[in-house]
């Protein structure tokens, strides 16, 4: 039973760390399926986390914090969109630039406004998200097997956690069951087909980029309004890149994105859990290896050794009408 308990705890923390990954990877899914590569997920998430922390601290409202997160993240997305769609600049370079600008300005502005060493003030209860307990969770916890699953694994998360996992089928539905999704996927594969069908390639790509901004906003807000009570400098700590890896690992498909994020989240949770504990048969696994595993797996996948990740055909290429 002890093993079972450990497993529930482990899965519970897997869910907790996977949430920002799910949001960010879905964000990347929207732009990349539309043909705009985005390595700026990290920066957008960080900017959103800061905006959320700062706005919530000032207004004492978690909702204003969330809205601020989304606004900042969308604004950053539009900068990326302007550079890569309108100006036809290099999408990688633009993404790198945004990551730096945000990494620097969140600290500078945070320090200037709050003077707490790059943090935003710790948020009071009303200014951050609270966990939601399912009905009778405490009572049901005592039921063997199902009890802990219900009370600890399913219940007791933040609203944003449920939203993140709800966003997986919603994103799927948007991409595969709506007109917008059909066009978005088409523009990432063959913008010429979209253009000749009488649809504006540019506006479509901008809309995809805005979707990305909104989702990164949720990811950032989760970090500073739910996972911790306030913004801490550099708090994304590479999550944007892990999300990018998860997106590739998922071969740009919504359902796979969720499993990839859960897998990478699980590795993260496991790494923390296993610190110093030897595994049977293998012995002690260095925690650094566990941390590197998502990246190693992604490289192996990219190299085509386990299946083949085929990116959207028009990805990374600005659209120019051919003569």
Partner 1 sequence: MDDIAIELHGIDKSFGLVHANKDINLKVRKGTIHGIIGENGAGKSTLMSILYGFYQADSGEILVDGKPVAIRDPNTAISVGIGMVHQHFMLVENFTVLENVMLGAEDSQVLNKGIAKARTELKRLENEYALEVNPDALIEELPVGLQQRVEILKALYRKADILILDEPTGVLTPAEADHLFRILGQLKSQGKTIIFITHKLREIMAITDEVSVMRRGEMVATRNTRETSVEELAELMVGRRVLLRVDKGEASPGDVKLAVQGLTVKDSRGVTMVDDVSFEVRSGEIVGIAGVAGNGQSELLEAIAGIRKATAGTVLLNGKSVDVMGHRDPAELRARGLAHVPEDRHHVGLVLKFEESENAILGYHHDPRYLNGVFLNIDAIRKDAEEKIAKYDIRPPNARLKTANFSGGNQQKIVLAREMERDPDVLIIGQPTRGVDVGAIEFIHKRIIEMRDQGKAVLLVSVELDEIRSLSDRILVMFAGRVVGERSPDATEGELGLLMAGVEGRKEAAE
Partner 2 sequence: MSTPYAKLPGWVEYGLIPLINLAVAFLVAGLVVLLVGENPLEAAYHLINGAFGRGEYIGFTLYYATTFIFTGLAVAVAFHAGLFNIGGEGQAYVGGIGVALACLWLDQTMPWYVVFPLAILGSVFFGALWAFLPGWLQAKRGSHIVITTIMFNFIASSLMVYLLTRVLKPLGSMAPQTRTFAEGGQLPKLDWLLSIFGLDVGTAPFNISFLLALVAAFGVWALIWRTRLGYEMRTMGHSPSAARYAGIRESRITVITMMISGGLAGMMALNPIMGEQFRMQLDFVQGAGFVGIAVALMGRSHPGGIIPAAILFGVLYQGGAEIAFEMPSISRDMIVIIQGLVILFAGALENMFRPAIARAFAMRGQRAAAVVQTRGA
By CB under 8 A, is residue 192 in contact with partner 1?
yes
Residue 52 — φ and ψ, nearest 5°?
A: -65, -50
Phi-psi region of 232 (alpha: psi -120 to 50; beta: other; left: phi over 0): beta
Q: Which is nearer to partner 2, 104 or 169 (CB)?
A: 104
Query: CA 210, 211, 217, 218: dihedral to nearest 10 degrees?
Result: 170
Q: Give the interface size with partner 1 as a residue count (CB under 8 A).
A: 22
| Sole binder of partner 2 in the list 14, 73, 94, 155 (CB under 8 A) | 94
x-or-dash string of contact with partner 2, 227-246, rule CB under 8 A: -----------x--x--xx-
By CB under 8 A, is residue 135 in contact with partner 1?
no
Can you list the pairs that 306-309 forms with residues at least 24 positions away whose Cβ atoms lie under 8 Å?
Answer: 307/251, 309/248, 309/249, 309/251, 309/252
By CB under 8 A, is residue 189 in contact with partner 1?
yes
318 contact, one of partner 1, partner 2, none, CB 5-8 Å limit per kind: none
What kind and span of H or E run contains 215?
helix 201-221
Who contacts 294 (Cβ-Cβ below 8 Å, separation ≥6)? 242, 245, 246, 249, 263, 264, 267
Q: Which is nearer to partner 2, 12 or 111 (CB)?
A: 111
Q: How far is the CB of 73 from partner 1 (least distance, A)?
A: 25
Q: How far is the CB of 38 from partner 2 (least distance, A)?
A: 12
- Cross-strand bridge partners of residue 253: none
Interface residue list for partner 2 (CB under 8 A): 39, 79, 82-84, 87-94, 96-105, 107-109, 111-113, 118, 238, 241, 244-245, 248, 286, 288-289, 291-292, 295-296, 298-299, 302-305, 311, 320, 323
């Amino acid at each position: 039973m002890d093993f079972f308990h450990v497993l529930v705890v482990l899965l519970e923390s897997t869910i907790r760390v996977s949430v920002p990954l799910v949001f960010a990877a879905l964000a990347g899914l929207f732009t990349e399926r539309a043909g705009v590569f985005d390595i700026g997920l990290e920066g957008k998430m960080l900017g959103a986390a800061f905006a959320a922390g700062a706005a919530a601290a000032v207004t004492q409202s978690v909702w204003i914090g969330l809205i601020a997160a989304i606004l900042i993240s969308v604004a950053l997305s539009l900068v990326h969109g302007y550079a890569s769609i309108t100006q036809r600049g290099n999408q990688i370079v633009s993404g790198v630039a945004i990551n730096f600008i945000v990494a620097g300005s969140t600290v500078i502005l945070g320090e200037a406004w709050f003077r707490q060493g790059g943090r935003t003030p710790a948020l009071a209860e009303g200014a951050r998200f609270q966990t939601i307990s399912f009905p009778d969770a405490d009572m049901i916890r005592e039921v063997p097997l199902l009890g802990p699953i219900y009370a600890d694994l399913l219940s007791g998360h933040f609203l944003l956690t449920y939203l993140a996992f709800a966003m997986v089928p919603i994103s799927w539905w948007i991409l595969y069951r709506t007109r917008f999704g059909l066009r978005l996927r088409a523009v990432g594969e063959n913008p010429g087909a979209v253009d000749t069908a009488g649809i504006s390639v540019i506006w479509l790509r901008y809309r995809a980029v805005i979707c990305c901004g909104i989702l990164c906003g949720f990811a950032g807000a989760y970090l500073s309004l739910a996972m911790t009570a306030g913004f801490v400098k550099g708090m994304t700590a590479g999550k944007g890149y892990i999300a990018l890896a998860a997106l590739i690992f998922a071969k740009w498909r919504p359902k796979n994105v969720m499993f990839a994020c859960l897998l990478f989240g699980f590795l993260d949770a496991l790494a923390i859990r296993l610190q110093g504990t030897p595994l049977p048969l293998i012995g002690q696994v260095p925690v650094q290896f566990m941390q590197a595993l998502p990246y190693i797996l992604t490289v192996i996948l990219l190299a085509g050794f386990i299946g083949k990740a085929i990116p959207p055909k028009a990805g990374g290429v600005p659209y120019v009408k051919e003569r």
